[in-house]
């Protein structure tokens, strides 16, 4: 079955969106609204197949989106690796406001990871 929306399309939508925010929850809401406006269905705060991980957004096309405005690089990699091990995620998109997260691996557990940097976006 082919996907209706790819991670690359999600990256395009979010890079063009105006994602002003103060808090992470507000940013998640803006991302959800931008995806919805583009016709991409994404649920928020989804518990993944491991039963303990909860990703910020998960699209119907099995693309997980994690939003980070804080946290160390090591913690983010650990968290994304846990998500990548879940059967209900095929690709990951990290949306971050931190330069420390820019060196995120392009692949975790054999699944592609895409980065959207909001450095310089309105806070």
- Tracing tokens 């002003």 back to the chain, one arrives at 20
Instruction: Identify which of 8, 6, 56 has the alpha carbon closest to the alpha carbon of residue 31.
Output: 56
CA atoms within a 13 Å half-sphere pointing along the CA-CB vector of 108: 24
Quote the pLDDT of residue 53.
95
Quote the pLDDT of residue 3.
63
Quote the pLDDT of residue 18.
76
Higher model confidence: residue 66 or residue 14? 66
Question: 25: which residues sit within 8 A by CB, 6+ positions away?
Answer: none
Task: Give CA–CA dist 15/95, Å, rounded.
Answer: 10
Alpha-carbon distance values, 26 to 22, 82, 98 (Å)? 7, 24, 16
pLDDT tens-digit profile of 63-88? 999 999 889 999 999 999 999 999 99
pTM of the model: 0.87
Domain spans, the chain: 7-117
pLDDT tens-digit profile of 24-69? 888 898 889 889 999 999 999 999 999 999 999 999 999 999 999 8
Burial of 121 (0-12, 13-18, 19+ CB in 10 A): middle
Q: Which CATH number fits domain 7-117: 3.20.20.70, 3.40.91.80, 3.55.50.30, 3.40.630.30?
A: 3.40.91.80
């Amino acid at each position: 079955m082919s996907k209706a929306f790819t991670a690359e399309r999600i990256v395009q939508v979010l890079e063009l969106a105006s994602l002003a925010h103060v808090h992470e929850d507000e940013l998640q809401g803006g991302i959800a609204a931008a995806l919805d406006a583009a016709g991409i269905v994404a649920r928020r705060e989804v518990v993944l197949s491991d039963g303990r991980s909860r990703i910020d957004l998960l699209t119907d096309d099995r693309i997980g989106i994690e939003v980070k405005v804080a946290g160390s690089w090591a913690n983010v990699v650990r968290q994304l690796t846990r998500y990548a091990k879940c059967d209900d995620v095929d690709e990951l998109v990290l949306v971050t406001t931190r330069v420390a997260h820019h060196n995120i691996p392009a692949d975790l557990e054999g699944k592609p990871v895409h980065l959207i940097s909001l450095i310089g976006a309105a806070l």
